[in-house]
Structure 1
Amino acid sequence: MKKFAVVFPGQGSQSVGMFASFIEDPEVKRTYEEANDALSYDLKKISLEGPAEELNKTEVTQPAILAASVAALRALKSRIDAVPAAVAGHSLGEYSALVAAGALDFADALRLVRLRGQAMQAAVPQGKGAMAAVLGLADEVVIDGCKAVSQDGDAVWAANFNTPGQVVISGAKEAVDRAAKFFAENGAKRVVPLAVSAPSHCPMMQSAADKLKEALSSITLKDAAIPVYCNAYAKPLTAKDEIVKALILQLVGPVRWVECVKAMQSDGVSALIECGPGKVLCGLNRKIDKSLDLANICDEDSLNKAIELIK
């Protein structure tokens, strides 16, 4: 059996009807029932039927993706007697990874990411922040370019290191616009504005990080039973106190996804199984290293293919 890790997607992977063909799986059904109870509303119905405007509200999107991700993982665990060597999640997906590692209770995680979504939305007034994907430039060029166009109170930062040559920037709208123009004029293949409601993973999220820290202090976390390769440090963590620090830092600092994947590879992982809606991470991971064995789990067919890949 291959040494595999399970990875979990972040915000943007949601779509109305996700998991519709997977919902009769007993583990998937149980997971959505637990989610509805934990949140006191019908998350399953919104996920399956929409409307999209409701599903795309950050405070709904985040629990919806987490629930789908945990459902996919449980379906996998019900079919094979194998424990992943590691887990990791992209941004929001880190909470799914912590559930998978036994560090965070599922119901607590759902309520925590709902609060996280609310806090992120409240941190910056609508229209004052922005994000954009910069394609075709080295990480250092993007980092230095962000510094060059930033001003006091009007700054932009490198926020997601997704693949070699794909860095997402985040910050004040005017600064992001200046950076986009700067990169377009200095060798970027493309600069793509992202449809987001808040500038994630930058210092403008400090008030959200403060609220998250307060919320985490009232939740019981455990040491992780499986190494969690966290976004903030790009290294494996198991100690609960370190995990809490990483979750808070993640909101105001970059997602170091390329480093996370390479660190797992260095520790012997050769296959990555994406649990959750869509195939975003499969796409990123393929660009990071084509030698990786990749699969996603979002329905019965993809589950069977993932099991065959692991064997």
Structure 2
Amino acid sequence: MSRLAFVFPGQGSQSVGMLSDLAATYPIVKATFDEASAALGLDLWALSQDGPVEDLNQTENTQPVLLTAGVAVFRAWQAAGGRTPDFLVGHSLGEYTALVAAGAISLADGVRLVAERGRLMQSAVPAGEGAMAAILGLDDDMVRQCCAEAAAVGVVEAVNFNAPGQVVIAGSTAAVSAAIEKLKAAGAKRALPLPVSVPSHCALMKPAAEKLRPVLESIVFSAPTIPVVQNVAARIEADASAIREALVQQLY
């Protein structure tokens, strides 16, 4: 039998009305949102269904909504009799979702943790002052070169290497805009701004990462029941301290 992996998404995959069809078929979806909402003191289902989109896209809201959505889909898969995956992995925020799905942290701790992560990230870079964009059609080195040339304007870095020909850049709004112009001139097929309120995974997030460390230390981590592949090192870790350190490092 072929091996199965689940990949949980990161910020930018949210939309108003998400999972409404799935929730109509699988009651566990809404029940998962109710559980997470009670832990956080915020109606995450209403936010995901009714928005407004401006509120949904604020990172302190986006992160707990997407984590809950990922766990809800995973539970629906289990309720439908889907087999247990061999590996879990998550894109950025999705690494936290993977850890919840693997039983390393509880859903309640997970949503509280990522909501605080979002607040720390937003405080590091006020809304409107940071940006991210997906660059399609250029190799990694060209994206790095264009970002280096645009760095005279401000911080901008190639941060997520999603696939050959798809790289995400992040940094200050002005520097990201400057980099996009250079990337288009270099032959990028598309440059897609992402619907996020913070520039994740660049140097601007280092202050938030250091403040996140004690928050992670306050959370009880157990050994994952399903192997989780880390973002930073592409390793599988069961040790709680190693998992925490990887979550700090992946922020910047």
Give TM-score, length-normalised by structure 1.
0.75
Match of 1:210 in 2: 210
Deviation track 1:186-234 (CA, whole Å, cap 9, x = no partner) reads 2322333334321111010112112211210111111222221111112
Paired with 2:247 and 2:148, the residues of 1 have a C-alpha distance of 25
Equivalent residue number for residue 115 of structure 1: 116
Q: After TM superposition, list the pairs within 5 Å mapping 1:120-199 onto structure 2.
A: 120-151=121-152, 154-199=154-199
Aligned-residue sequence identity (percent) comes to 50
Distance 2:53 2:182 in 1: 34
TM-superposition CA deviations, 1:231-284 (whole Å, max 9, x none): 1112322222211111111110xxxxxxxxxxxxxxxxxxxxxxxxxxxxxxxx
Q: CA deviation at 1:144?
A: 3.0
Residues 173 and 15 (structure 1 numbering): CA distance in 2 closer, same or farther, change over 3 Å? closer
- Consecutive unaligned residues of structure 2, counting only runs of 5 or more, are none
In 2 relative to 1, CA 66–195 (structure 1 residues): closer, same or farther, beyond 3 Å?
Answer: closer
In 2, Cα distance between equivalents of 1:111 and 1:187: 42
* 8 Å Cα contact 2:57/2:196 also seen in 1: no
Q: State the match for 1:58 in structure 2.
A: 59
> What's the counterpart of residue 71 of structure 1?
72
Equivalent residue for 2:35?
A: 34
The whole-number CA distance in structure 1 between the counterparts of 2:17 and 2:195 is 20
Structure 2 CA distance for partners of 1:236 and 1:140, relative to 1, 3 Å: farther
Give CA-to-partner distance per residue, 1:276-303, whole Å, 9 cap, x none: xxxxxxxxxxxxxxxxxxxxxxxxxxxx
Pairs aligned (count): 251
Q: Distance in 2 between matches of 1:41 and 1:174?
A: 33
Q: Of the two structures, which has the highest relative contact order with CA contacts closer than 8 Å and spacing of 6 or more?
A: 1
**CA deviation after TM superposition for structure 1 residue 81, in Å:** 6.3
Query: What's 1:95 paired with?
Result: 96
Structure 1 regions of 5+ residues with no counterpart?
253-311
How far off its partner does 1:73 sit?
Answer: 0.6
Corresponding letter in the other structure for 2:85: P
Looking at structure 1, the residues matched to 11 and 124 of structure 2 have their Cα atoms a distance apart, in angstroms, of 17
Distance across 2 between alignment mates of 1:172 and 1:37: 35
Distance of 2:17 and 2:34 partners within structure 1: 17
- Counterpart contact for 1:161–1:168, Cα < 8 Å: yes
Distance (whole Å) between structure 2 residues aligned to residue 205 and residue 182 of structure 1: 24
Q: Specify the alignment match of 2:240 in structure 1.
A: 240
Task: Please tell me the root mean square deviation across aligned C-alpha atoms, in Å.
Answer: 1.8
Superposition deviation, residue 130 in structure 1? 2.0
1:226–1:238 contact (8 Å) kept in structure 2 = no
The 1:174/1:74 distance shift into structure 2, 3 A limit, reads same
Question: Do the aligned partners of 1:225 and 1:238 also contact (CA within 8 Å) in 2?
Answer: no
Residue 12 (str. 1) matches residue 16 (str. 2): no
1:117–1:73: structure 2 CA closer, same or farther, 3 Å change rule?
Answer: same
Report deviation, 1:28. Answer: 1.7
Distance 1:173 1:44, change over 3 A: closer
Within 2, Cα distance between the matches of 1:48 and 1:183?
Answer: 36
Q: 1:29 to 1:186 in 2, by over 3 A?
A: closer
Q: Contact between 1:224 and 1:240, CA under 8 Å: does it hold in 2? A: no
In 2: Cα distance, 1:193 partner to 1:15 partner:
15
